[in-house]
Structure 1
Amino acid sequence: MKSPARLAAVLAAGLTLTLGLAVAQTGPAPNNQPPPAIDELPIPPPPTVDAKAWILIDYASGNVLAGQNYDTPVEPASITKVMTSYVVAAELKAGKVKRDDPVMMTENAWRKGGAGTEGSYSGFEVNKTAPLIEMEKGMVVQSGNDAAIALAEHIAGSEDAFAALMNQYAKRIGLKKTHWMNPDGLPADGHITTAHDLALLGRALIHDFPESYSLNKIKEYTVGPITQTNRNRLLWRDPSVDGIKTGHTASAGYCLMASAQRGDQRLISVVMGEPTEPKRVDDSQALLNWGFRFFETHKLYDAAKPISTQKVWKGQQNVVRLGLSEPMLVTLPRGRYQQLKPVMDVPKSLVAPIKKGQQIGTVRVMLGGKVLAQRPLVALDAVEEAGFFKRLWHELLMWWNS
């Protein structure tokens, strides 16, 4: 990754300003284009994947890098538990439950998902409690169906009520073709999703609740005399992989949602309906390697640092600094960084008062005439309204300049 200072200089040099409805003004071009390099050759096709549906997305933007049948409805199997983790994390953040809450392994949870069933289980004893965070590890690391049910009952009173919560949060995240019926992923009529929705869910968990997401990289977990290993074998194969979740039922096939970070670049892959367990691992690894080889991520702007200064009328200060509330990263084909074109849209005139954090405009980054990334441009400082005489003077100047 190039240094942030050099990146900022290159982008600032090529910034295009769009002021309201005024004609766009183009500044000096970015650094001269280097001679064509091998990385500028067309990107080869992604690896052959045997899954019924699969996708590879860029975490920074959520853009799809490759995929097939990724908007086709599929059974999520135990990848459902990623949504359960999201709900648990959201309820923790809201203060509705606590990490040390005693969570009961009820007889219902034990009978449906415990050691006596054919599915994966956590090992917690029936009619005994464990701290919520430990029960969550039993669900995340060991893929315990019993732990997922116990957490659902603790948080919402019943599995059905928890499923309603899951669907509410799914809608908030933006999952458009997903409907949850239970917290564990066991087959149920109407329990469906898509590879695309699952990738966006993984992205949301990483972004919104990184502490909860970090549980996914734990390789083994012990409950009483039972030690079980994480079913995501990529954790042992690739040190850049830190999640996310496997799934398998007879009807869903073998599934794997994986995420890896190398430097500033993070990718998320989802394969659904693979024929065997080794194939879901091999295909996921191949997709991640392909993505890291042929795409690169750059941080274009840091959060809370000015990227523009704009004039303000009728304010105690005459200018306001504009920037972003979050860092702006973009992922693009390798070798095409010099072709990025940043564009800033701001109103033709700014009038006080302006609140700190108020959206003033938009920053867009273009590549080949298409929007690669877009972020709100916000005021980094508050600008209070000026006194009467300055406001009157600026009113006259604004009239004169109009």
Structure 2
Amino acid sequence: MIKALSSLRRGGWWRHGFLALLFAFAAAWGAMAQAALPTPGAPDLSARSYVLLDNTTGQTIVEREPDRPVPPASITKLMTAYLAFEALESGDIAMDDEVLVSENAWRMGGSRMFIEAGKTVTIEELLQGMIVQSGNDAATALAEYIGGNERSFVSQMNATAERLGMEETHFENPTGWPAEGHLMSARDIATLLSRLIHEHPDLYRYFRQKSYTYNGIKQYNREKLLFRNDWVDGGKTGHTEEAGYCLATSGARDDMRLIAVVLGTDSDEARNNQAEALLNYGFRHFEAVAVREGGETLASPRVYKGESDEVPVGLDEDLSVLVPKRQSDELTVTLHLDSLLTAPIAAGDRVGSLRVAFDDDTIAEQPVVALEDNPEGGLVKRLTDSLWLWWDE
């Protein structure tokens, strides 16, 4: 059972007969009392840095140097894909747009989809060539088309990284080709992949595509976990001598989606094994617990000078948290409301917060908002409530 307390900081409520509100959460996770098992330690990995993130709650399960900026190699193409997806959904570009391949794109070294200078290729073909085949030529052609030129597109990449809160990221190109100052952290990569999945779920399907044939050349997705586990649905690999072997990937099992990022391993096999170990660890030992639904009334606190004496308050979106399995009874949920709410109040106005703690540590906090409008009352009501406020002081 989830323990729940409510703290209503509202001066003078005892004068009007208001009682503190106590939440009672039903025990929805098993009828039999069961002692919580200790959660085993996380896998011992050799990766330079890594992070395992729950995609729904945003909670980090395990990490090593997650904020260390390192060369990301072709994982960079996650941002190129993100900007392409944004352009598609905004209508700036279309899947059937034909892109004239520049000599600059054609000359790109490293992994390629083998487009040819002077010929046209569609946006959809370039996306598959970049995501499935990891083509540097495809990523460059997309950047030139969307940004007008490669340098302008890179500026968009850096502006978007800043907007997404990717504090340890800086791009020099759209491919991940080695360049001084071209860096990302494991946490930033996980943030980017999470946003890509949340915001573009239909286009994310390209990341689980196992092969793509262009110009008569069939290439297989470099992410081997797609071929090992049907619950893995893709991300992006990367490799350069400086970066080592890197992988950002995601998988969904048991109504959970996790994101694993491993950077700086010493082989293709190592990056796949270590990312898989992180994902298996998360699915095996943790579970998501629904705390409260968005739009559900949590309380109806006193409002002064309004048409109504109360306003229903709650969360504007569902709140879930991740906890070790069989330990959900250690959760404590506390409602904090602002003191002396005064009209006018509009639906959506923040009036407090809901905090969730596990083992005395806060693991989630979400704003509590008004669920309905409460405009100002008439003159008599405002004057009467002003007297009550004076008395409460």
TM-score (norm 1): 0.87
User: Which secondary structure does the structure 2 equivalent of 1:243 belong to?
Assistant: coil
- Of the three residues 121, 124, 145, the one matched with 2:115 is 124
How far did 1:93 drift?
4.3
2: CA distance, partners of 1:279 / 1:164: 33
- Of the three residues 142, 156, 159, the one matched with 1:151 is 142
The amino acid across from 1:352 in the alignment is A
Equivalences for residues 105-120 of structure 1 within 5 A: 105-112=101-108, 117=109, 119-120=110-111
- Is the contact between residue 30 and residue 338 of structure 1 (CA under 8 Å) also seen in structure 2? no
2: CA distance, partners of 1:58 / 1:204: 12
After superposition, the CA RMSD in angstroms is 2.6
How far did 1:369 drift?
1.5
User: Which secondary structure does the structure 1 equivalent of 2:312 belong to?
Assistant: strand
- CA gap 1:218/1:326 in 2 versus in 1, 3 angstroms: farther
How far did 1:30 drift?
5.9
- Is the contact between residue 14 and residue 26 of structure 1 (CA under 8 Å) also seen in structure 2? no
User: Which secondary structure does the structure 2 equivalent of 1:296 belong to?
Assistant: strand
User: Which secondary structure does the structure 2 equivalent of 1:67 belong to?
Assistant: strand
More divergent stretch after superposition (310-319 vs 153-162): 310-319
- Of the three residues 61, 68, 71, the one matched with 1:65 is 61
- Of the three residues 375, 386, 389, the one matched with 1:395 is 386
- Of the three residues 151, 154, 173, the one matched with 1:160 is 151
The amino acid across from 2:136 in the alignment is N
How far did 1:108 drift?
0.8
State the match for 2:79 in structure 1.
83
State the match for 1:243 in structure 2.
234
The amino acid across from 2:228 in the alignment is R
Give the length in aligned residue pairs: 385
Residues 287-329 of structure 1 show CA distances to partners (whole Å, capped at 9, x for unaligned) of 1111111111112222233233223222233332222222211
- Of the three residues 27, 30, 49, the one matched with 2:22 is 27
1: CA distance, partners of 2:166 / 2:12: 37
State the match for 1:272 in structure 2.
263
User: Which secondary structure does the structure 2 equivalent of 1:73 belong to?
Assistant: coil
For the pair 1:331 / 2:299, whether they are aligned, the reply is no
How far did 1:180 drift?
0.7
For the pair 1:210 / 2:201, whether they are aligned, the reply is yes
- CA gap 1:72/1:28 in 2 versus in 1, 3 angstroms: closer
1: CA distance, partners of 2:384 / 2:120: 71
Equivalences for residues 2-401 of structure 1 within 5 A: 14-19=4-9, 27=22, 35=33, 37=35, 40-112=36-108, 117=109, 119-401=110-392
Q: Which runs of 4+ in 1 moved over 4 A?
A: 20-26, 28-36
The amino acid across from 1:41 in the alignment is L
State the match for 1:5 in structure 2.
none
TM-score (norm 2): 0.89
More divergent stretch after superposition (306-315 vs 140-149): 306-315
- CA gap 1:335/1:102 in 2 versus in 1, 3 angstroms: same
How far did 1:168 drift?
1.0
- Is the contact between residue 236 and residue 248 of structure 2 (CA under 8 Å) also seen in structure 1? yes
More divergent stretch after superposition (188-197 vs 381-390): 381-390
How far did 1:258 drift?
1.2
- CA gap 1:25/1:371 in 2 versus in 1, 3 angstroms: farther
- Is the contact between residue 142 and residue 221 of structure 1 (CA under 8 Å) also seen in structure 2? yes
- CA gap 1:25/1:320 in 2 versus in 1, 3 angstroms: closer
- CA gap 1:348/1:81 in 2 versus in 1, 3 angstroms: same
How far did 1:98 drift?
3.8
Residues 149-204 of structure 1 show CA distances to partners (whole Å, capped at 9, x for unaligned) of 11111121222221111111111111111111110111111111122221122122
- Is the contact between residue 245 and residue 271 of structure 2 (CA under 8 Å) also seen in structure 1? yes
More divergent stretch after superposition (28-37 vs 260-269): 28-37
The amino acid across from 2:369 in the alignment is V
Note the residue ranges of structure 1 that are not aligned, 5 or more in a row: 1-9
How far did 1:367 drift?
0.9
How far did 1:129 drift?
2.7
- CA gap 1:221/1:53 in 2 versus in 1, 3 angstroms: same
2: CA distance, partners of 1:357 / 1:206: 26
2: CA distance, partners of 1:26 / 1:323: 13
The amino acid across from 2:325 in the alignment is R
User: Which secondary structure does the structure 1 equivalent of 2:252 belong to?
Assistant: strand
How far did 1:122 drift?
2.3
Note the residue ranges of structure 2 that are not aligned, 5 or more in a row: 14-18
How far did 1:134 drift?
3.2
- CA gap 1:103/1:201 in 2 versus in 1, 3 angstroms: same
User: Which secondary structure does the structure 1 equivalent of 2:313 belong to?
Assistant: strand
The amino acid across from 1:300 in the alignment is V
User: Which secondary structure does the structure 2 equivalent of 1:210 belong to?
Assistant: coil
